[in-house]
């Protein structure tokens, strides 16, 4: 009998997974965000630059994972947790400089809740990625996760809007959100233009988050129904 000369794939060590290139990028993002938020009021422009660079690195680490065949569950979780926490921190800051602050806290709850439910429903369905929504009947939901460029536009628009609103708050005193939005539309400055251009993508992302909550909740409910129907 001929021997099988095919070499078995080498199992990576735990340390090597932690040291995957995309995961190192992820650690860098965490440190960058920590420093950015530590000095967000003392140097707003540097904060915004660091925050946006960290956000851009979100796409770079995904590319690196595919390029170097270093896709990992830990990396995917690190990526999502970093995204959610950094956005949450910025929304908390905005809730303190604008009124009504509940607007931003509601957006925070929507963002965290929708992604957590989507991840949990993905686990229940046995899917490898929370972006696998091919079986969804909602066209916008499928378009968002199915078209990488469209999803990137909505995510960038959302973060640009929050960063722009932070820059428009000239000091730490409370301002009325609608007054700032109205003034930014008529002002014509670069930051004001960014606010206007990003509003559409931001609105789409919030709508997708609402759809995400509904579809993920349906999966959880159907899982309970099917479980009770089993003998």
Could you list the active site residues?
A: 83
For residues 192 and 99, give the distance between their C-alpha atoms in angstroms, rounded to a whole number: 19
Displacement of CA 129 from its chain's centroid (Å): 14
Q: Is the Cα torsion angle 149, 152, 154, 160 positive or negative in sign? A: negative
SS3 22: helix
Residue 100, preceding bond cis, omega within 30 degrees?
yes
State the angle between helix axes of 148-168 and 73-97 in degrees (0 to 180), rounded to the nearest 10: 30
φ/ψ of residue 125, rounded to 5: -85, -10
């Amino acid at each position: 009998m001929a021997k099988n000369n095919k070499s078995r794939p080498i199992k990576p060590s735990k340390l090597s997974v932690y040291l995957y290139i995309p995961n190192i990028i992820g650690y860098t993002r965490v440190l960058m965000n920590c420093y950015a938020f530590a000095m967000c009021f003392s140097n707003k422009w540097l904060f915004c630059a660091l925050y946006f660079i960290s956000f851009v690195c979100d796409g770079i680490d995904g590319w690196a994972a595919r390029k170097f065949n270093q896709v990992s569950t830990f990396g995917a979780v690190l990526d999502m947790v970093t995204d959610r926490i950094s956005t949450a921190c910025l929304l908390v800051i905005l809730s303190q400089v604008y009124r009504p602050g509940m607007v931003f806290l509601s957006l925070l709850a929507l963002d965290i809740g929708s992604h957590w439910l989507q991840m949990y429903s993905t686990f229940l369905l046995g899917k490898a990625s929370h972006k696998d929504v091919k079986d969804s009947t909602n066209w916008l939901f499928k378009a968002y996760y199915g078209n990488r460029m469209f999803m990137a536009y909505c995510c960038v628009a959302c973060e640009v809007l929050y960063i722009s609103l932070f820059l428009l708050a000239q000091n730490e005193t409370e301002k009325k959100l609608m007054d700032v939005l109205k003034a930014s539309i008529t002002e014509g400055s670069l930051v004001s233009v960014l606010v206007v251009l990003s509003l559409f993508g931001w609105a789409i992302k919030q709508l997708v988050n609402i759809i995400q909550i509904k579809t993920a909740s349906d999966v959880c409910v159907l899982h309970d129904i099917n479980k009770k129907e089993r003998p």
